[in-house]
Amino acid sequence: MPTVGMVALGCAKNRVDGELMLGRLRQAGYTVVSDPTQAEVILVNTCGFIEDAKQESIDAILEMAEHKKNRCRALIVTGCLAQRYGKELLEEMPEADAVLGIGEIEDIAGAVGRVLEGQRLLKTDRPYCYPEEGERLLTTPGTYAYVKIADGCSNRCAYCAIPAIRGPLLSRPMEEIVKETASLCKQGVKEIVLVAQDTTRYGEDLYGKPCLPELLRRLSALPETTWLRVLYCYPDNTSDELLQLMHDDPKICPYIDIPLQHVNDKVLKEMNRRGDHALIDSLYHKIRNLGGFALRTTMLVGFPGETEEEFRELLEYTKTHPFDRLGAFAYSKEEGTPAAKRRDQVPLRNRRGRANRLMRQQRPISRAFNQSRVGSVVDVLVEEEEMGLYIGRSQWEAPESDGRIYIEMAEGLRAGDIVPVKLTKALDYDMMGVLA
């Protein structure tokens, strides 16, 4: 059977879909290789969320197409960009042998087989459905894995194309999530990272109300689970019940990731965000008063009509109300969204300039947060060894987005070990430590 490799782009939710596809291909007899350039069939699992991501996806497709001159026999484009621009991609990129949308996970092996027989495919009309049976091939280190608890989104933020690409909120049944989590943990996974576009709305469509706290209790009750992490909690549904549970349960990482996007009431309203400055401020102080949390957010600057004064309000708020981790993104004009139709677009140079200003302000804040931790002892999940140093994360660092902890003067550790580490030095984003 031919060898198969994947280029995975975009978010953790897209990564899970890629892992499901690789699992089905391996079940069908294909040999999966970690280096896609050495594969006879290359899948590019694309992102189509914002302009930079779309360009990165197109560049990856063209780069992988070069390998058709040698080993590669089939180049297949999947993921959000394929779902959003399937017809255009097939017409304008003759290098692609197939363009498959987000609903083709179950039939990926059949599609690859047809391509190898000489067919050129376009399939983007099937709705997304999370397959509950069959193999999933993890592409993360064996220490952690993402578990997608829902797909799609019903928030309808004015700048976001996700509902148009992936549809409304589609929660998975709780029993299936519990089963998958138990299975992953039995395979040796120490950290389960729950993801959805808005995790705090999990269950609304299935059970008539948000059910994230109940899901967390059931996952925490599994004897196999070690760490549970929740990403993407929207402010209006981050309830007191959820906060208290995350604060009290030692298995749940005390890590709150809330994509606020802005703090100015006018901008929030025009973004069609639920909640206002008062709600954000109240939530901020609740989290700080509970104590013990690492607090992360993302901000979107340069939204149409955002004035310099409104941006300065955001800048000042994040200075006086510091976030331990913060990411800043320049607004991207996405076709088909309400924001894209507005005539008061902020010039690209201004958008990028504002994002850079916000991140320059954040850098010493993040370092000060790390500095405040020097001298404390934390449990660290060891993930790898590099140049004589073991590298890992505590419950306060999320994989792939935050800094890491470098353990000096240690021997005999293995990936998956959880060891107490005394933090000795703060860097801008990473930390150094020794075994306690």
Per-residue pLDDT tens digits for 291-324: 999 999 999 999 999 999 999 999 999 999 999 9
Residue 409 lies in a domain: yes
The model's confidence at residue 158, banded by pLDDT at 50, 70 and 90, is: very high
CATH of the domain at 367: 3.80.30.20
pLDDT for residue 188: 95
Per-residue pLDDT for 248 more than 90? Answer: yes
User: What is the C-alpha separation between 57 and 52, in angstroms, rounded?
Assistant: 9
Per-residue pLDDT for 282 more than 90? Answer: yes
- The answer to whether the CB of 96 falls within 8 A of the CB of 77 is yes
Per-residue pLDDT for 207 more than 90? Answer: yes
* Phi, psi angles (nearest 5°) of residue 308: -60, -35
User: What six digits make up the tokens of 65?
Assistant: 């197409």
* Phi, psi angles (nearest 5°) of residue 252: -90, 125
Mean predicted confidence (pLDDT) in 41-63: 93
The amino acid that residue 172 corresponds to is R
pLDDT for residue 94: 93
The residue ranking higher by pLDDT, 48 or 286, is 286
Nearest to 150 by CA among 313, 293, 282, 16: 16
Claim to verify: residue 94 and residue 199 sit in the same structural domain: no
Helix, strand or coil, per DSSP, at residue 132 = coil
pLDDT for residue 376: 97
pLDDT for residue 428: 87
Residue 117 lies in a domain: yes
Claim to verify: residue 418 and residue 320 sit in the same structural domain: no
pLDDT for residue 77: 97
pLDDT for residue 133: 83
Nearest to 403 by CA among 379, 432, 435, 424: 432
Residue 132 lies in a domain: no
Q: What is the mean pLDDT of the chain?
A: 95
Per-residue pLDDT for 132 more than 90? Answer: no
Claim to verify: residue 356 and residue 412 sit in the same structural domain: no
Last residue of a domain, one of 372, 389, 404: 372
The model's confidence at residue 388, banded by pLDDT at 50, 70 and 90, is: confident
Residue 392 lies in a domain: yes
Residue 211 lies in a domain: yes
Name the percent of the chain lying above pLDDT 70.
Answer: 100
DSSP 345: P
CATH of the domain at 389: 2.40.50.140
Mean predicted confidence (pLDDT) in 357-377: 96
* CB contact set of 307 (below 8 Å; sequence gap of 6+): none
Helix, strand or coil, per DSSP, at residue 127 = coil
Nearest to 166 by CA among 105, 235, 245: 105
Claim to verify: residue 357 and residue 390 sit in the same structural domain: no
User: What six digits make up the tokens of 334?
Assistant: 């996405």
Mean predicted confidence (pLDDT) in 371-383: 97
* Phi, psi angles (nearest 5°) of residue 212: -60, -45
Claim to verify: residue 416 and residue 402 sit in the same structural domain: yes
Longest Cα–Cα distance in the chain: 62
Mean predicted confidence (pLDDT) in 65-91: 94
Claim to verify: residue 108 and residue 186 sit in the same structural domain: no
Mean predicted confidence (pLDDT) in 231-260: 96
Q: List strands edge to edge, sheet with 294-301.
A: 255-261, 294-301, 325-330
* CB contact set of 302 (below 8 Å; sequence gap of 6+): 311, 330, 331, 346, 350, 351, 352, 354, 355
Claim to verify: residue 218 and residue 272 sit in the same structural domain: yes
The amino acid that residue 146 corresponds to is Y
Mean predicted confidence (pLDDT) in 101-116: 95
Claim to verify: residue 236 and residue 322 sit in the same structural domain: yes
User: What is the C-alpha separation between 330 and 339, in angstroms, rounded?
Assistant: 14
Claim to verify: residue 297 and residue 328 sit in the same structural domain: yes
Per-residue pLDDT for 48 more than 90? Answer: no
Residue 406 lies in a domain: yes
Claim to verify: residue 115 and residue 150 sit in the same structural domain: no
How are the residues of the chain apportioned to helix, strand and coil, as percentages rounded to the nearest 5? 40, 25, 40
Residue 131 lies in a domain: no
Residue span of the structural domain in which 422 resides = 377-435
User: What is the C-alpha separation between 304 and 342, in angstroms, rounded?
Assistant: 7
Per-residue pLDDT for 134 more than 90? Answer: no
Question: Which of 132-141, 202-211, 248-257 is predicted least confidently?
Answer: 132-141
Last residue of a domain, one of 123, 154, 184: 123
Claim to verify: residue 201 and residue 292 sit in the same structural domain: yes
Claim to verify: residue 164 and residue 103 sit in the same structural domain: no
Q: What is the tally of structural domains in the chain?
A: 3
Per-residue pLDDT for 50 more than 90? Answer: no
Name the percent of the chain lying above pLDDT 90.
Answer: 95
CATH of the domain at 7: 3.40.50.12160
Per-residue pLDDT for 402 more than 90? Answer: yes
